[in-house]
Structure formats: C-alpha cells, structure tokens
C-alpha cells in the first residue's frame, strides 16, 4: 500500500487566494483526520470523518475553512480566503478503526501564505 497520500507537498499562495489541499487515505480505512501543525500551537485536530461523514469539526478555526469527503478515497481541505496566519503544515491521517489501531499519517502539505 502506498500509504496516505497528500498533495501538494508544498504550496505558496498570496493572501486572499483560495487554497485546496488533497488527501487520499489508505484503502479500506473508515476514518480520516485533518490536522494542522505549527510551532506555536503544536498539533491541532481540525476535523474528522467516519465513512465519509464529518463527525467532529469543532477544531476548524473559522468559516474560511471547509472540508469534504465525497467518497472513501478522497478528501479536501479548502481555505478561502487564505491569510498569512494559516501558514502551517497540514496533515491527513487515516485508520481502519479507532481505539488501539493508531493512525497512519501522510507526509503533509506545507502551506505558506504571503
């Protein structure tokens, strides 16, 4: 298995532009998580899905952020409009089941908003 695949690896955009981050989970995994990592705030859970349905989006910072999972093999995290404070590394992770299984993380997307 190729693992959790995220694209792009790096994204540089100007303030006010729309940004879309993509994630392909491991085939058969029923849970998908989006995290944001910064030096100041560490690792933050933004939203997670179970069987393509959003379960908890309480970590989404504001209405500029939205996430979708149209099918079991694809999810997007969109920021519109982007701001410099959104600069971070965004990780996607998936798991077959929660509890003792742990997550498999993608390599992340480093977003820079200038």
Partner 1 sequence: GDSVTQMEGPVTLSEEAFLTINCTYTATGYPSLFWYVQYPGEGLQLLLKATKADDKGSNKGFEATYRKETTSFHLEKGSVQVSDSAVYFCALTSNRDDKIIFGKGTRLHILP
Q: Which residues bind to partner 1, rule: CB under 8 A?
A: 4, 31, 33, 42-43, 45, 48, 50, 55-56, 91, 93, 98-100, 102-108
Measured from the CB atom, the residue of 70 and 99 that comes closer to partner 1 is: 99
E-assigned strands of 1-114? 5-7, 10-13, 19-24, 31-38, 42-50, 53-56, 65-71, 74-79, 88-95, 104-105, 109-113
Measured from the CB atom, the residue of 31 and 65 that comes closer to partner 1 is: 31
Please, what is the minimum distance in Å from the beta carbon of residue 81 to partner 1? Answer: 27
Using DSSP, state whether 99 is helix, strand or coil.
coil
Please, what is the minimum distance in Å from the beta carbon of residue 50 to partner 1? Answer: 7
Cα 45–Cα 74–Cα 49 angle in degrees, nearest 5: 40
Please, what is the minimum distance in Å from the beta carbon of residue 15 to partner 1? Answer: 25
């Amino acid at each position: 298995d190729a693992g959790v695949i995220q694209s792009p690896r790096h994204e540089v955009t100007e303030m006010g532009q729309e940004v879309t981050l993509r994630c392909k989970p491991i085939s058969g995994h029923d849970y998908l998580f989006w995290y944001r990592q910064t030096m100041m705030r560490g690792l933050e859970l933004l939203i997670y899905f179970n069987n393509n349905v959003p379960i908890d989006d309480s970590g989404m910072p504001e209405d500029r952020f939205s996430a979708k999972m149209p099918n079991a093999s694809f999810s997007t995290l969109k920021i519109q409009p982007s701001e410099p404070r959104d600069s971070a590394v965004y990780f996607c992770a998936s798991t077959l089941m929660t509890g003792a299984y742990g997550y498999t993380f993608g390599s992340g997307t480093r977003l820079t908003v200038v």
